[in-house]
Amino acid sequence: MANKNTNGSFDYGPAQVNSAWLSKTEEVGIGASALQHDTCANLWAAGWIMRRCLNKFSNSFWHAVGCYHTGENPKKPEQLARQRTYAVKVYRAIEKTRGPFLKWLNGV
């Protein structure tokens, strides 16, 4: 599965790994085809990207969520705004579940 975004990038597989990450995932042997057709590779890459983002942003979960979506080197205010907007969107989706992950996020 590959979904084309309005900016011309693609989101691959169940974890919707964006093609902007391809240069990094290819360094560890995971290209577009694997992201699109190999669920295990897609989910591994998603975890690897999230860990990169957590490392880069000192284990700040919400900064890492934004990084996963927008990339690890935002240079423009618009990119930072997109990171924040996406993190809020994810939080609101999690909030609707009212499950254990929400409790963990809120430190309960």
Encode pLDDT of 29-70 as tens digits.
999 999 999 999 999 999 999 999 999 988 788 889 989 988
* Confidence label for 19 from pLDDT (cuts 50, 70 and 90): very high
How many Cα atoms within 13 Å fall on the side-chain side of residue 90? 17
Per-domain residue ranges of the chain = 2-105
Distance CA 55, CA 43 (A): 18
Sheet holding 2-4, edge to edge: 2-4, 10-12, 17-18
Q: Residue 108 pLDDT > 70, yes or no?
A: no
pTM: 0.81
Count of beta carbons in the 10 Å neighbourhood of residue 13: 21
pLDDT of residue 101 exceeding 80, the answer is: no
